[in-house]
Amino acid sequence: MVLNKYIQKGNTIINDYNAVLARNTENAPNGNGLYSQTVAFSHYNNLSAQLPIEPNTGKLVAGGIKEQTEQCFKNIKAIIDSIDHVMSDVVRITVFVKNIKDVEAIDKVYKTFFPTYVPTRTIVAVDALPMDALLQIDALVSHGEGTIPNAPQAGDLIKLTNNTANAPTSLLSTQTVSFSHYNNLSAQLPIDPRTGRLVAGGVKEQAQQCLKNMKAILESIDVPFDDIVKVNIYLKNLSDIEAVNEVYTTFFPDSAIARATAYVPARTTVAVSALPIDALVQIEAVVSHGDGTPPQAVEDRHGIVIKANNTENAPKSSLSTQTVAFSHYNHISAQLPLDPKTGEMVAGGVKEQAGQCLKNINAILESIDHVMDDVVKVNIYLKNIVDIDAVDEVYTTFFPGGVPARSTIGVSALPKDALIQIDAVVSNAEGTPPKE
């Protein structure tokens, strides 16, 4: 267990704060010291993306997409079993697949692991995956007992699932799953919920429909659009980003209060090789949920605020906030290898670029009085998956203990023609209490 800096003073542990709790089991592939299989903080477990690796051999399982999908889920289940949880505690699944045509085969296996309850879900086809795997699966798991050392909570928080006819529905995913102080939305495709078909038009119309669907879901649970803390945009063509941004700025900020502070969520933009139904864009979101989920007491549920922060020591953008904190998590916008002083790409190759991305993340954390040890999950997006060994050399200098959970995917393109982009989820032990 790695203790958050806010709860350790000398040899004394203060039980009022949650701690970063990293765990591993021999029944799932190990991270070779680079990352932990699952990192719990407060009411969520953040799992490392699972490849179809047999834990006994460390090699890809024999067979095709069916066998690889089964192995990914077996690994996830083994991790969940090892921390005394069950598969129905999963709130979000992200499937990175090499060939979008494999989704039907993946779904057949998926149903066997989620026969009744289904979490929120995102599926994208990516350019490459580690070990030349056909797919990789990421998961977020509820953690009702929390992570206060020597002071477990009751563990009886419930998930709230919701679907509305005003957004596209699916038997394989729930539109939104709330747990404690967060709502996790399924990635929204540009589907008109009235027809169940792709909306007519180009990328602008498709981006607008994705955001309309998100708004409809949030309205159905009485949550305002400006409660979104993180947005992930998956684009078939990275060159479409300017057109998407034109639409994006008509949705953010959404309220007068948000406009007054120029609030926009943290954001990551990823170029993918293909999307379901041959869409040009797909958008997912993480949303604050100040009401919490029962049986949290009313006095513990209301008035928590979003804390957004930018620093001059990291690259700034009018379209995203560098870090958005809510309750016990900070969500960091994807960092490109840009020198904040010049706004230009750092000189050198992938090592130098990886170092700059991590320096930017560190600068953001320092600006909010946090440290790299507070990071619970890292997502690495690489232009060339073969660069991962070089990246790991740099990565270990920032995370020598290998604690954060991690996902690594190969993408077809990155903004600014970068070789690498990194985002992160960070623990926030102090929470975000109401302003005085």
Q: Residues 384-399: pLDDT tens digits?
A: 999 999 999 999 999 9
Total residue length of the chain? 436
Please count the structural domains in the chain.
Answer: 3
| Range with lowest mean pLDDT among 155-159, 167-171, 378-382, 411-415 | 155-159
Counting Cα atoms < 13 Å in the Cβ hemisphere of 234 gives 28
Tokens, residue 154: 């009751």
Cβ proximity of 134 and 97 under 8 Å: yes
19 and 89 share a domain?
yes
Q: Which of 132, 153, 174 is the last residue of a domain?
A: 153
Q: What value does the mean pLDDT take over residues 247-258?
A: 94
pLDDT tier, 242 (very low <50, low <70, confident <90, very high otherwise): very high
Cβ-based burial of 342 (10 A; exposed 0-12, middle 13-18, buried ≥19): exposed
Tokens, residue 208: 């607008």
Helix (H, G, I), strand (E, B) or coil at 386: helix
- Per the model's pLDDT, the better-predicted residue between 434 and 274 turns out to be 274
Residue type, 15: N
Tokens, residue 169: 């529905």
312 and 413 share a domain?
yes
pLDDT tier, 152 (very low <50, low <70, confident <90, very high otherwise): confident
214 and 263 share a domain?
yes
Q: Look at residue 300 and tell me whether its pLDDT is greater than 50.
A: yes
140 and 161 share a domain?
no
- HEC states along the chain? CECCCCCEECCEECCCCCCEEEECCCCCCCCCCCCCCEEEECCEEEECCECCECCCCCCECCCCHHHHHHHHHHHHHHHHHHCCCCHHHEEEEEEEECCHHHHHHHHHHHHHHCCCCCCEEEEEECCECHHHCCEEEEEEEECCCCCCCCCCCCCCCCCEEECCCCCCCECCECCEEEECCEEEECCECCEECCCCEECCCCHHHHHHHHHHHHHHHHHHCCCCHHHEEEEEEEECCHHHHHHHHHHHHHHCCCCHHHHHHCCCCEEEEEECCECHHHCCEEEEEEEECCCCCCCCCHHHHCCCCEEEECCCCCCCECCECCEEEECCEEEEEEECCECCCCCCECCCCHHHHHHHHHHHHHHHHHHCCCCHHHEEEEEEEECCHHHHHHHHHHHHHHCCCCCCEEEEEECCCCHHHCCEEEEEEEECCCCCCCCC
pLDDT 10s digits, 180-190: 999 999 999 99
Residue 276: is the preceding peptide bond cis (ω within 30°)? no
Tokens, residue 27: 């029944």
Phi, psi of 118 (to 5 degrees): -125, 135
Q: What value does the mean pLDDT take over residues 25-50?
A: 97
| β-pairing verdict for 38-41 and 44-47 | antiparallel
Tokens, residue 261: 């502070």
Q: What value does the mean pLDDT take over residues 42-65?
A: 98
Q: Look at residue 434 and tell me whether its pLDDT is greater than 80.
A: no
Q: Exposed e or buried b for every residue in 51-67, given b needs 16+ CB within 10 A?
A: bbbeeeeeebbeeebee
Q: Look at residue 436 and tell me whether its pLDDT is greater than 70.
A: no
Q: Which of 153, 180, 212 is the last residue of a domain?
A: 153
CA nearest neighbour of 45 among 94, 13, 92, 3? 92
130 and 49 share a domain?
yes
Q: Which of 98, 125, 153 is the last residue of a domain?
A: 153
What pLDDT was estimated at residue 296? 79
What pLDDT was estimated at residue 433? 83
What pLDDT was estimated at residue 335? 98
In the chain, the percentage of residues whose pLDDT exceeds 70 is 94
What pLDDT was estimated at residue 14? 39
Q: Look at residue 325 and tell me whether its pLDDT is greater than 80.
A: yes
Q: Which residues make beta-bridge pairs with 139?
A: 93
256 and 114 share a domain?
no
Residue 400: is the preceding peptide bond cis (ω within 30°)? no
191 and 245 share a domain?
yes
Query: pTM of the full predicted structure?
Result: 0.95
Q: What value does the mean pLDDT take over residues 55-59?
A: 96
Q: Which residues make beta-bridge pairs with 99?
A: none
171 and 297 share a domain?
yes
264 and 296 share a domain?
yes
pLDDT 10s digits, 210-234: 999 999 999 999 999 999 999 999 9
275 and 364 share a domain?
no
CATH number at residue 371: 3.30.1330.40
Q: Among all chains, which residue has been given the structure tokens 């505690």?
A: 89
Return mean pLDDT, the chain.
93
CA distances from 238 to 14, 115, 184, 241, 412 (A): 47, 36, 25, 6, 9
End-to-end CA distance of the chain: 34
Q: Look at residue 6 and tell me whether its pLDDT is greater than 50.
A: no
Q: Which domain holds residue 29?
A: 1-153
195 and 283 share a domain?
yes
372 and 397 share a domain?
yes
